[in-house]
Amino acid sequence: MIQLPSDIKLIFSGHETFALRQLWLKKAYIQVEEHQDASELVCSKSVFSSSDAVERFGVGKNMVASIKHWALATDVISESVETNGFQLGEIGKFLFDKNLGIDPYLEHESSYWLIHWYLAGKSIRSTSWYILFNYLNINSFNQVDVISVISDLVSEAENVRSKKTLENDVDTCLKSYVSDNETEDGIESFLSKLGLIKKINKNLYQFNYSYHESLSDFLFCYAILDFWESLERRYGTSQSTLSFKNITYDYGSPGRVFKLTEYSINERLSRIEDISKGYLGWTDSAGLKQITKLKNEAIGEVKKNLLRLAYVS
């Protein structure tokens, strides 16, 4: 029986049915930054719930809650382990830091792919996103198909309180990616720019498998290493190679999350040594297709360098 990885938290609400919008993540970052304690670098959770939150964020109460959800789901902010509050997340600092932030207004194509990777590949608080992109094994589908797969995977989970909860979550997930869907104030959904899902008719959707030229080679390589790390944490192993099959077909893999064709993955992997600045090598001979770690460098630093290169190259 297919099961979700044990480290995937089952969260199907929190967004208040609002799809992510372009300026929301920066709003969350700025508010947490401005209200954090100077010594502990943590702010009270009331930053999103106090009586003046609506005025500070410039949106309604439910949207404030949604902004908090999306910021947490994408590591723009995170919950403090030691203190009951919020702190700035690593992705938040990478994008929005006053001096070093690389894309403060989320205008770069790599930001769209990075946010999508966090939602559908890492699933901090976005279970339906993870299941949709990794476990739905049909190219054309409707909302009922998605809910059915989710229900099969989490049928015993207490987190799923009602069918309505799932319906709202899946609806929010789908409208996050469909290009002809606009929010009530006429703003196009943030992730629709990726073109990963097409709406065929009123009830039918289709994945768009492609090379996806807007996906930087460096971000693709970053995702591979991020996925590789997750496998090692999940199974308590350390391995020097990762197969083409793993990268293309494993649950949570870049191939599934980014909806890449086999050809596009093979083509990118053939250049992986150049892309990774010599950290990874590619083998494609005698039926063996895999990448290998060639250098004994900290994977975290390699990932940081790749992520920055996705924006500057």
Flag whether pLDDT at 27 surpasses 80.
yes
Assign domain 217-312 one CATH number from 3.40.50.9100, 2.40.10.170, 2.102.10.10, 1.10.10.1420: 1.10.10.1420
Domain ranges (residues) in the chain: 24-207, 217-312
**How many angstroms separate the CA atoms of 172 and 17, rounded?**
5
Q: What is the pLDDT of residues 154-166, one digit of tens each?
A: 875 555 568 899 9
Burial class of residue 203 in the structure, from the number of CB atoms within 10 Å of its CB (0-12 exposed, 13-18 middle, 19+ buried): exposed
Q: What is the pLDDT of residues 201-230, one digit of tens each?
A: 989 999 999 999 999 999 999 999 999 999
Q: What is the pLDDT of residues 261-305, one digit of tens each?
A: 999 999 999 999 999 999 999 999 988 999 999 999 999 999 999
The helix/strand/coil state of 78 is strand
Contacts of residue 46, Cβ cutoff 8 Å, sequence gap at least 6: none
The helix/strand/coil state of 251 is coil
The pLDDT score that the predictor gives to residue 1 is 59
Contacts of 289-298 with CB under 8 Å at 24 or more apart are: 289/243, 289/244, 289/245, 290/241, 290/242, 290/243, 290/244, 291/224, 291/241, 291/242, 291/247, 292/240, 292/241, 293/240, 293/241
**How many angstroms separate the CA atoms of 7 and 228, rounded?**
15
Q: Do the strands 140-141 and 205-207 form a parallel or antiparallel pair, or are they unpaired? A: antiparallel
| Global pTM value | 0.95
Contact 22, 106 (CB under 8 A): yes
- In Å, how far from its chain's centre is CA 219? 12
Average per-residue pLDDT for the chain: 93
Contact 114, 91 (CB under 8 A): yes
Burial class of residue 68 in the structure, from the number of CB atoms within 10 Å of its CB (0-12 exposed, 13-18 middle, 19+ buried): buried
Contact 220, 258 (CB under 8 A): yes
